[in-house]
Structure 1
Amino acid sequence: MDTARDAAPGVSSLAALLADAGRMTMLWALMDGSARPAGELALVAGLSPSSASGHLARLVDGGVLAQEARGRHRYFRIATPETAAAIEALASAVLATRELRPRPVPVSRGTPIPLRHARTCYDHLAGEIAVALFARMHDRRWIRIDGSDVALTDAGTEGLSALGVDLTQAHARRRRFACTCPDWSERKPHLGGALGAALLTTCLAAKWLEPTREARALRVTPLGERKLSAIAV
């Protein structure tokens, strides 16, 4: 059996679903881990309700989105963390291909500063803060990196437990425990997987990070500046 050929149709089907600009706009709006109604997603993408409904149905059928009924409304969210990681990786790849073009097409504006500094990437932390933290954790041997896999060392277990990160719950989740996730603004990895989600949960609960009015953007509080900069140093 040609396993490479056997796997190709699934990849092609997913790529076709992500190739449409309107669908990608709706998916990007869900990258904060939220669930949103069809009408709101239609407005975000600039689509008619009927057109958005058709696109959303295709994304649900393709396993990219999950839907749930709340009263008379249907809410949509990204189906899995792996799907969110793929979308983030595509955004990073777009930036990489721009740099390789002999005459790159100028973009209308750069990455907004609040998003670049700290933001959510589905259910974990991204941006400058996340990339710097990931690098320090690696330098201090809190984590080991093997390709896209991340393993937590004894030092990392001790350090994150001291911060209040619930490692037991992270291990119990039915998903990848820890992995690298490409950061589309910094072009370096940050921490993904259940461990990345647990770390973000801790930061929010401790008021080191706070949501802002801008979707996905996070504000680092004065306490958070001190606490986050002291991790793995």
Structure 2
Amino acid sequence: MKIRNLAHTTRSLLALCALTITAASATPEFVPEDDAGLADFIGMTFSADERLARDSIQVSVNQGIATLTGKVATLNQAERAVERTKSVQAVRGVISEIKVASARGSDEQRAAEIARRFASSPGLGASSLTVAVRDGYAIIDGQVGTWDEQELAREIATEVPGIAIIDNRITSTGKGSRTDRTIRWQIERDIADTPLHDGLQINVSVSGGIVRLSGEVGTTGEKEQLIHRALVSGVREVKG
């Protein structure tokens, strides 16, 4: 999200510093640097991730470049595996050859499922959105009020089994207004969906567009990530 001015950013940084810093980290401190050890370590992080543990993703590493292969049920899982791998220290790059497995049901059923999820998502104004699916290729179109909703629609579509490619044609007017409930829902979702925040217990409350975060983080990097996650459309200020 584009941060409008330095003063706004500074206020948010100072506010988030109120989160308690602990010595614990969401991932083990020791990360092997040799290729074989690094591949094993990445595989262990997949096994520890409840969203990836049941998938058969193979990992190979050559000079710090990780290659991921195998099949997963959703595009969301494929992208999560890539993000989790990128977050591992000593990984210099990631090549993803992960495929999304075919799912039972018709293209029409998958399109209907995406539309249903759009309609049931508090953070998304979905009344004008359309969905078409053909052979796992989804086109989502229409107009929303904010850029965050535009990206959120794509994320929701990635969670539907059998969708391998998404063509996001949704545009934003930049004039949308968002309720506190909508803002809180999106921040909580974004935190939960980010591998770097695994294991963190962060409480989110929103009143009048002002976000309050409480909980514990392990590193300065986690604090900075949480700042960006909290600065969604409609947020006036972030407080700890």
Instruction: Determine if the TM-score, normalized by the shorter chain, exceeds 0.5.
Output: no
Q: TM-score, normalised by structure 2?
A: 0.26
Structure having greater relative contact order (Cα 8 Å, sep ≥ 6) = 2
Structure with the largest fraction of helix: 1
